[in-house]
Amino acid sequence: MSNMPDLVTKENTVTKVNSEVTINKVQVFIGFAILIAMLAFAAIQSGTNPKLGLFLITGLSIGYLMQRSRFGFAGGIRRLYITGESSLTKALLFMLSISLIITAAVHYGAFVSGAEASFRAAQGARIIPGTQSVNPASLATVLGGIMFGIGMMLGGGCASGTLTDAGEGEGRALIVLLFFVAGSLWGAHDANWWKGTIFYTLNTRVYLPDVFGYLGAVIVSLLGFLSIYVFTKWYENKRKRANTLIQLEYEEWEKALPEAAEYKFFSKETYHKFFIKRWSFYTGAVLLTVMFVIILVTTNVSWGVTSVFVDWGAWLYQGVGGDVSTWGYFANRMNAINAGFLNDTGSMRNLGIILGALIAPLLAGHFSFKRGFKLRDVIFYAIGGLLMGYGARLSSGCNIGALYTGISNMSLSGWVFLPSLTLGGIIGVNLVKKFKVNM
C-alpha cells in the first residue's frame, strides 16, 4: 500500500534507532500531546459522570495494547487458515482460558453472597456481574455469527480490530466502520421482525453453572479450549510437514534492539523497548484479560463494542432528518440517544480504542495513513461492514460481546457463536482470495 508522507520530513526531525530503523520525533511529540489531552478530557468527563472518564481510559488502554501486540480475533482464524502459523490462535485460547477462570471466581463470589443471574433476578435484586451477557442461543446466533465471520474477512478485521485499524491509519477501516455502523442500524430496524421468526423463538438460554456447577463449568470450558488447541497444533504440524507453513515476521522497526554494552535507563534502547518494540501475542492476551476484568469489576457488566455502533447510526440518521423513536429496538434507549455522544459511556470507550491505537504508532514514530486500495476493494469493504453490523444485531454481539464476553461469562450462546463465526471466517477468507480483495 502507498503511505501518506510523514508528518514532518526534514532530516533533523528523524532520529536513528539503528542502521535500518528511524523514528519521527515530531510524531512522538504529537503522540504525547494527544495522550495528555485525552487524560485531561477524561478528567473533565469524570466531573460530569465518573463512568465517562473510566470508559475513555479503558478504551485508550485497549486500543494501545491491541495495536502494540497486533492482537485481534479475526487474525486468529485468518492467520491459521492462510499461513498455518498458530501463535495468535493459541494466544486467543490462553486469553479465553484465564478470562474464564477469573470471571468464574467473580461470579461465584457474587453467588455465595446472595446475588442472582440477571435473567432470573427480581427487580432490585443483586445481580451476578456479567450475567447480562448470558444470552439465548438460537438460529439467529448461528446466522449472525456466519454473517459476521464473512464480513470480518471482507472488511479486514473484527469489531475491535476495525476500531484499532482506523486509529492506526488504515483507510480501509474507516470505510468498513462507516458501513459497520450502517449495518448495525439496519439490523436494529429489522430486530422486531426477526424476533417473531423461528430464528429467535427456537432458543435456549443456558448458564453453564446451572448445569455443571461453577467448577464443572470451568472444567468443561477448559476442555473445550483444549480440544481447539489440539486441533490447532495438529493443523500447524500438518502444514509444516507439507512445507506450506508461513512463519510470522515482524517489521524491522518492531524488532528488539541489540543490548547496549553499558545499560542506561534514559537511552534510545529503553525508549524502543517501552514504546516501539512489538509486544508478543501472549503479552496482548494477558493485558487484554486485565482490561476485561477491570471493566467487569468496575461496571458490573462485561465489555461490548457493537451495540454502541447502533447509537452512532441513530445519531447520523437523525442528523439527516430521520427518526428512530418509533423503532422497537430503541424503546428503552431514547434517553441515551437524546443525551448525545459525549454523554454516552460506550461511545467514550470506542473513541478511546481508536485514539489509543493512534497514539501507539505515533509514540513509536511510525504512523502512516494507508490508502492503497481500489474502488472494487471499497465495494467489498462496504459489504463486509454491512454484514458485520447486521450479523452483530442478529447474534446480540460480535467477537467481543457474543464470543469473548459470552464464553467468559459461561453462556452457551458463546460456544454456539464460536463455530458459526469460524465457518463464516473461512468462507470470507476464500472470498477474499477468489476476488483478490486488497487487505
State the average pLDDT over residues 80-99.
Answer: 97
On the question of pLDDT at 93 being above 60, the answer is yes
On the question of pLDDT at 4 being above 60, the answer is no
Residue in the structure block whose three cell numbers are 501463535: 87
CA angle 57, 58, 59 (to 5 degrees): 90
- Contact call for residues 431 and 155 (beta carbons, < 8 A): no
Phi-psi region of 130 (alpha: psi -120 to 50; beta: other; left: phi over 0): left
Residue 21's pLDDT is: 64
Write out the three cell numbers for 432.
477474499
- Contact call for residues 141 and 395 (beta carbons, < 8 A): yes
Could you give the percent of the chain with pLDDT greater than 90?
87
Q: What is the pLDDT of residues 315-369, one digit of tens each?
A: 999 999 999 999 999 999 999 999 999 999 999 999 999 999 999 999 999 999 9
- Pairwise CA distance, residues 352 & 338, whole Å: 21
Q: What is the mean pLDDT of the chain?
A: 93
Residue 14's pLDDT is: 41
| 3 state SS of 15 | strand
- Pairwise CA distance, residues 415 & 336, whole Å: 31
- Pairwise CA distance, residues 406 & 136, whole Å: 10
Residue in the structure block whose three cell numbers are 461469562: 409
H or E segment and range at residue 203: strand 203-204
| 3 state SS of 268 | helix
Cβ neighbours around 363 below 10 Å, total: 24
Query: What's the DSSP call for residue 300?
Result: S
What CA–CA distances, in Å, run from 236 to 51, 77, 314, 430?
Answer: 44, 13, 44, 19
Strand duo 14-16 + 22-24: pairing? antiparallel
Cβ neighbours around 112 below 10 Å, total: 9
b/e per residue 247-279 (b: at least 16 CB within 10 A): eeeeeebbbebeeeeeeeeeebbebbeebbbbb
Q: What is the pLDDT of residues 294-318, one digit of tens each?
A: 999 999 999 999 999 999 999 999 9
Residue 220's pLDDT is: 98
What predicted TM-score, i.e. pTM, was given to this entire model? 0.93
Q: What is the pLDDT of residues 97-122, one digit of tens each?
A: 999 999 999 999 999 999 999 999 99
- C-alpha dihedral (203, 207, 210, 214), degrees to nearest 10: 160
What CA–CA distances, in Å, run from 433 to 156, 272, 371?
Answer: 12, 36, 20
Cβ neighbours around 73 below 10 Å, total: 23
What backbone phi and psi angles, to 5 degrees, belong to 16?
-75, 130
- Contact call for residues 396 and 147 (beta carbons, < 8 A): no
Say which residue, 269 or 395, is predicted with more confidence.
Answer: 395
State the average pLDDT over residues 42-51.
Answer: 96
- Contact call for residues 158 and 73 (beta carbons, < 8 A): yes
- Pairwise CA distance, residues 173 & 167, whole Å: 9
For residue 137, what are the β-bridge partners? Answer: 204
Cβ neighbours around 331 below 10 Å, total: 10
On the question of pLDDT at 404 being above 80, the answer is yes
- Pairwise CA distance, residues 22 & 96, whole Å: 36
- Pairwise CA distance, residues 145 & 207, whole Å: 20
| Domain positions in the chain | 22-435
On the question of pLDDT at 7 being above 50, the answer is no
Q: What is the pLDDT of residues 193-246, one digit of tens each?
A: 999 999 999 999 999 999 999 999 999 999 999 999 999 999 999 999 999 999
Nearest to 140 by CA among 425, 394, 329: 394
On the question of pLDDT at 263 being above 70, the answer is yes
On the question of pLDDT at 181 being above 70, the answer is yes
